[in-house]
Amino acid sequence: MAVPHDLTTLVHDCADCPIRHRAVCARCETDELQRLEQIKYYRSYQAGQTVVWSGDRMDFVASVVTGIATLTQTMEDGRRQMVGLLLPSDFVGRPGRSTAAYDVTATTDLVMCCFRKKPFEEMMTGTPHIAQRLLEMTLDELDAAREWMLLLGRKTAREKIASLLAIIARRDASLKLRAAQGSLVFDLPLTREEMADYLGLTLETVSRQMSALKKDGIIELEGKRHIIVPNFDALLEETGDDSDGGFLV
């Protein structure tokens, strides 16, 4: 279902390109793209596997091709907070730093497109296009982080759950499957515990609020993971966010 991605998204930002993440785009097949192709390689991880531990050496940068990875921070006493959720086409790693700042974990089977940091950095100095694209992506991530901060600091448990569901629904490629009526179907890529780590809650509270949303008819559950949202607007109502819509318009 999902179209494969790789780091070509770095040099690839044609607003009018019909398939935004195609591995090769006629308009973007430039020198940069070809040079990237030469130094890239792929790595696979199984669900549950750790990609790197916080503090460990990380001598590559990468973008997610398929699957989902998380960035988490852990306190000495074991309290955990997820600080990043990496979906296909997302970038991880920081040029100019050699150790990972967070635990990176595959929550599903995962394929990443990697570049050893050295040649990537060398390339970056020679190709302004890449630094600009990377800046753009980083600014998007910063915006997402700031919305996440509002969620963590000020939203109720119910609002947090609704917001997370809305975020995942928005980014899930399978949303193309949605029926005309505004209903939406997708699979949760996270366990209750991972949702809790995302939201700054306990897994029990997550479970209770999921049940409550179900009881109130905001969502339907098939099994633990398969979600049906009969009315996306009703879900958005629960997030506490401004109802700008903006999505599905």
Partner DNA sequence: TTCTTCGCTTGATCTGCATCAAAGGCAGAC
Partner DNA sequence: GTCTGCCTTTGATGCAGATCAAGCGAAGAA
Distance, in Å, from the CA atom of 89 to the CA atom of 8, rounded to the nearest integer, reads 9
- Choose from DNA, its own copies, none: what does 193 bind? Cβ within 5-8 Å by kind: DNA
Q: Mention every residue, 6+ apart, whose C-beta is less than 8 A from residue 3.
A: 19, 21, 22, 173
Nearer to DNA (CB atom), residue 51 or residue 100: 51
- Choose from DNA, its own copies, none: what does 192 bind? Cβ within 5-8 Å by kind: DNA
Stretch that binds its own copies, among 1-9, 166-174, 175-183, 237-245 (CB under 8 A): 237-245
Under rule CB under 8 A, residue 183 binds its own copies: no
Sheet holding 220-222, edge to edge: 184-187, 226-229, 220-222
Interface residue list for DNA (CB under 7 A): 156-158, 191-193, 200-208, 210-211, 221, 223-225
Determine the residue type at 152. L
Question: Which residues inside 125-164 make contact with its own copies, applying CB under 8 A?
Answer: 125, 128, 131-132, 134-136, 138-139, 141-143, 145-150, 152-154
CB of 139 to DNA, least distance (A): 30
Question: Which residues inside 10-69 make contact with its own copies, applying CB under 8 A?
Answer: none
Nearer to its own copies (CB atom), residue 111 or residue 205: 205
Under rule CB under 8 A, residue 118 binds its own copies: no
Please give the residue ranges that form the binding site for its own copies (CB under 8 A).
71, 73, 75-77, 79-81, 83-84, 94-96, 101-102, 124-125, 128, 131-132, 134-136, 138-139, 141-143, 145-150, 152-154, 199-200, 240-242
